[in-house]
Amino acid sequence: MSERPVPTTDTQHAAATLDGWYTLHDFRTIDWARLKLVDAEKREQMIEEFTAFLASLEEVEAKGEGSHAFYSILGQKADLVLMVLRPTFNELEDVERAFRKTALYDYMIPSYSYVSVIELGMYRGSGDGDPYQNPHIRSRLYPTLPKAAHICFYPMSKARRDGDNWYMLSMDERKDLMYRHSMIGRSYAGKIQQFIGGSTGFDAWEWGVTLFAEDSLQFKKIVYEMRFDEVSAKYGEFGDFYVGNILPKENLSTFFSV
């Protein structure tokens, strides 16, 4: 049995999508001035408790029931991001609740958040059979997020301007443009892993783009190269970019040392 109805593509204006796990990006800024006032022993206890919270997320991931990524963020837009993937909105809320209960949470100021659902476009169809039963497709819809050295997140939309309106293009035109986009993407195989979250109706932009890489320079290279590609050059509209470094739970003491 398919978990979701199998979409058909060509008869509709909207490109059919396969939809996987719901995704929350929760960006937080640490209130360092307040944290400095906490004595060292209490701070260590808080870090221990937070480590246990991250370990509980790892257990869910090990069971294949969700995934997460925890990264520090460079610059002043945020200090941390917890990216969480779960089968339902309710389970995302469960994670938010558990996060809220940690003592360290009280020293974190919300800076940005983004809600989406892992999405695969079906511009080129999905092959024979029920795509939701195809192991390759499943591994992309319900992924275990990489533990790569670096993350880059940004929201984006496709333009709806007079003249350049993505949503007024024919399916064939969009298919052709997306094919060219995918060819650039493929040239970054082994360097960048991308996760596209569809967010129309969920958040302020239409997609949340999350990229992972071992070499942070690859983010600049792919985004710059794509700017010259028609899909991005004509139709791409972008929000703020958030970049950062993996934060393993073993490094929390160093991260929170003040």
The binding site consists of 140, 154-158, 181, 194, 232
How many other CB atoms are found less than 10 A from the CB of residue 242?
A: 23
- Rg of the chain over Cα atoms, rounded to whole angstroms, equals 20
Dihedral sign of CA atoms 244, 246, 249, 252 in order: negative
Whether 234 and 159 have beta carbons less than 8 Å apart is answered as yes
Among 78, 222, 243, 252, binds ligand VOV (CB under 6 A): 222
192 binds ligand VOV (CB under 6 A): yes
181 binds ligand VOV (CB under 6 A): yes
Shorter beta-carbon distance to ligand VOV: residue 207 or 256 = 207
Please name the amino acid found at residue 130.
D
How many other CB atoms are found less than 10 A from the CB of residue 102?
A: 18
**Segment near ligand VOV (CB under 6 A), from 5-13, 38-46, 64-72, 120-128?**
120-128
Closest approach, Cβ 232 to ligand VOV, in A, equals: 3
**Segment near ligand VOV (CB under 6 A), from 61-69, 109-117, 186-194, 245-253?**
186-194
How many other CB atoms are found less than 10 A from the CB of residue 123?
A: 19
Whether 155 and 115 have beta carbons less than 8 Å apart is answered as no
197 binds ligand VOV (CB under 6 A): no
Residue 31: strand, helix, or coil: coil
Among 207, 212, 242, 256, binds ligand VOV (CB under 6 A): 207
Nearest to 231 by CA among 186, 187, 169: 169
How many residues sit in the footprint of ligand VOV (CB under 6 A)?
Answer: 23
Active site residues: 154
User: Which residues form the interface with ligand VOV (CB under 6 A)?
Assistant: 15, 120-121, 123, 156, 158, 178, 181-182, 185-186, 188, 192, 194, 196, 207, 209, 211, 222-223, 226, 232, 236
